[in-house]
Structure 1
Amino acid sequence: MSQYARQVIQEERPIRYFAQDESRFGLKTLIGRLITACGIKPIGQWLWLFKAFWLYGAVEPATGESFFLQFSHVDTACYQAFLEEFSKAYPDSLNILQVDNGRFHSSKDLVVPENVILLFQPAYCPELNPIERLWEYLKADLKWASFKTLEQLQAKVDQLLAQLTPEVIASITGYSFILNALSALNPI
């Protein structure tokens, strides 16, 4: 980390922290709680299709800025494409990406762009990654919804992403301990 600190001091690039993860969105109906009369089970249309796509996302809890890309699956090649596009979207800063311990995050074939640092969270601790709460927020609107095609689901997810404002993202992902640490990192 010290080599990166020296690089930042020499170049005077701002340091930005993003939480990054991938989430599966599929045609299989997500069930959830519904208000019904006592003893009555909820009734809804169910689909058991296992067609899906993956949404790769990175959010900045301090500002609510976000970056999302859709892929058909999860592997090193898709993650490499995500990192390259992310790096191009934020070229003027040193970007720290908090990631889980997925194999494709640490693959020997993965080439991390020069303005990105991968920060690995402890194993089996998804609750430490703020973007997990954003996935829950997005999927709450998809409970009991059924889509006939994957394209319809993708359109709905795109609509939900378009409705997200930086303020909403910051309120969902802005853990106080992260924001306190970030205020010390980039003093104003």
Structure 2
Amino acid sequence: MRSSLNKDNYSDVNLYFQDEARFGMMTHLGKYLTASGIKPIVSYQHVFKTTYLYGSYSPIDGDRFVWEVNGVNTDVFEAYLKQFSLHRPKELKIVVIDNAGFHSTKNIEVPQNIHLLRIPPYAPELNPCEQIWQYIKQRYKNQRFESMEDLKKWLHGTVNKMSAETIKSITANHHYIDAFMATS
């Protein structure tokens, strides 16, 4: 990671929270509201095909950058950062990440317009991106997909339907926002 950042080189500065989540074809059962004495019927399948979403969400302006990939490792993380750097390329991105093993930055090139900040280990509650995944997974429960393409279409549609206001309301944390506003 770079030790000094020159904000003057960028037209804007933004705060993002980054994380990954796995989604698969296996049905995840949730609650259903039915009449008393009526047992809900849910179409269920037990298939172990999965995909991953890499996502960065901003509590400042509700911006998002989401990438759907078939795995998690250091090479994919580095490729994600490169693509994310091209999204709003004149923006300095301060990206809060967790301590996943594949987030190691020892042997990867971090783009110039991205600065990574780590949260303490074993503290997912400090990453508001976790609430984004909860929001999506609430809508994912009791869904059954005929193919991986159907699942991917559903994921893309769900992510794209999230408005900036929804993203800000889910990821907003006054501690982070106050600290960010005081330094920007």
Pair in the same fold by TM > 0.5? yes
Per-residue deviation, 1:107: 4.6
Which of 39, 43, 46 is the aligned partner of 2:44? 46
Report the number of matched residues. 184
Alpha-carbon separation, structure 2, partners of 1:2 and 1:75: 22
Alpha-carbon separation, structure 2, partners of 1:41 and 1:99: 42
Contact 2:19 2:98 in 1 (8 A): yes
Aligned-partner SS, 1:134: helix
Matching residue's letter, 1:68: V
Contact 1:104 1:110 in 2 (8 A): no
2:93 aligns with: 95
Alpha-carbon separation, structure 1, partners of 2:182 and 2:105: 32
Per-residue deviation, 1:117: 1.3
Residues 48 and 88 of structure 1: CA distance in aligned 2, closer, same or farther (over 3 Å): same
Contact 2:16 2:96 in 1 (8 A): yes
Matching residue's letter, 1:109: N
Aligned pairs (5 A) from 1:67-82: 67-82=65-80
Residues 41 and 100 of structure 1: CA distance in aligned 2, closer, same or farther (over 3 Å): farther
Identity %: 36
Contact 2:10 2:92 in 1 (8 A): no
Aligned: 1:178 with 2:161: no
Aligned-partner SS, 2:75: helix
Aligned-partner SS, 2:170: helix
Scaled by the length of structure 1, the TM-score of the pair is 0.89
2:162 aligns with: 164
Cα RMSD of the aligned pairs, angstroms, is 2.0
> Is there any run of 5+ residues in structure 1 with no aligned partner, and where?
none
1:4 aligns with: 4
Aligned pairs (5 A) from 1:75-154: 75-154=73-152
> Is there any run of 5+ residues in structure 2 with no aligned partner, and where?
none
Matching residue's letter, 1:95: K
Contact 1:99 1:120 in 2 (8 A): yes
Matching residue's letter, 1:44: V
Per-residue deviation, 1:2: 9.2
Contact 1:26 1:51 in 2 (8 A): yes
